[in-house]
Amino acid sequence: MARPGQIWAGIAGGALLAATPAWATQSGQTPQTALQTRATDVSGVTVTAPEKPSPLVNPETQFVRSHLAQNRNQQYARFRDPVCVRVIGLPAEFDAFVARRVTALANRVHAPIDRSAACTPNVNVIFSQKPQAQLDDIAKRRDILFGFHFAADLKKLTTFDRPIQAWYLTREVGTEGASVLELNHGVNFRDGGPGAPPVSLGVTVNGRAGSRLGNDMSSELVHALIIADANKLADAKIGAVADYIALLALSRWQDLERCNAIPTILNLEAEGCANDPPETATASDVALLRALYALDPRETGAQQRITMATRMQSERQKANAEQH
């Protein structure tokens, strides 16, 4: 089983390209008041209307299907290892503030948490004024952190083009408890330790056939890498940014560019939102993650998706009833 400390060690020892943004050094700024606007030069941009959602699929199911990535076994990953957060690139009090918000959300959704002061991070957040250079450096020295991807997608995967982006490493766990990292090398690997490439296991992770409820395999998050562009976030509220990062850290997300019909903190950095986006994790966000961390990890992906969407729908209906 891969150890988070081994996986991260190659980055921690390299050149750190993070830098303090201007807002963090201004007089009187605190984590609660710093980090609202972003530059939006849209000249020459062609706007394409998003496809209309199917009337036969509720918005919550559409949300889960669109934004939560499945593994090769079509299941959804969550942390089984206790979550340990490290944030770098800001003044110490800001780093600590963001880390606390990630841990607080993990606590709300009942994710496992490593509360020791010397824990080894498996959620690493980097604020950088040169995010593309930071990403290029990681790609050269520790591409294992990008997890499974097809070779044709590597260029897109290693292009930094949004204010905040995330990459995930996952493992697949079999019936007998054996696990392998999900990578794009075509064979099974475990982490080889600091500075070393992954080591071939030469084993197969087996499931159990014969059930419509699942094949007795599961998917787990091993590491979340999140890079934030300090330049683009210079005028944003740090509380909102911290909650956005917290949501990214606790599940494996994808395709976050467009605005969502349901209220979610993910709309903070999405395009095409008609209304002001939420600035904290919403009831829908919390409901999804609570369902993710409570569901049977060995169920089929379809069953897992139904569980999460149903929990989100219930929370939205409750919130609407309270407003009226």
Give every CB contact of residue 306 below 8 A, 6+ residues apart in sequence.
Answer: 61
Report the pLDDT value the prediction gives residue 42, as an integer from 0 to 100. Answer: 44
Residue 48 buriedness (CB in 10 A; 0-12 / 13-18 / 19+):
exposed
Distance CA 259, CA 263 (A): 9
Residue pair 148/72 in contact (Cβ under 8 Å)? The answer is yes
Both tokens of residue 293? 């961390």
pTM equals 0.80
* Residues 154 and 22 sit within 8 Å (Cβ to Cβ): no
Q: How far apart are CA 241 and CA 264, in angstroms?
A: 13
Q: What are the tokens at 242?
A: 């911290």
Residue type, 285: D
Beta bridge partners of 225: 124, 167
Strand ranges in 113-248 using DSSP code E only, listed in sequence order: 123-128, 164-173, 179-181, 189-190, 199-200, 218-229
Q: What is the pLDDT along the chain (324 residues), one digit of tens a residue?
A: 545 455 545 554 444 555 555 555 555 566 555 554 444 444 555 555 555 555 556 889 999 999 999 887 789 999 999 999 999 999 999 999 999 999 999 999 999 999 998 999 999 999 999 999 999 999 888 888 888 777 777 788 889 999 999 999 998 888 767 777 887 766 666 656 555 666 666 666 666 665 555 667 889 999 999 999 999 999 999 999 999 999 999 999 999 999 998 899 999 999 888 888 999 999 999 999 999 999 988 888 899 999 999 988 888 788 677 665
Q: Which residues pair with 189 in a beta bridge?
A: 181, 200
3-class DSSP assignment, residue 99: helix
Inter-axis angle of helices 92-108 and 283-294, nearest 10? 60
Q: What are the residues facing 76 on neighbouring strands?
A: 70
- Written as one letter, the residue type at 302 is A
Query: How far is the C-alpha of 271 from the C-alpha of 260, rounded, in Å?
Result: 9
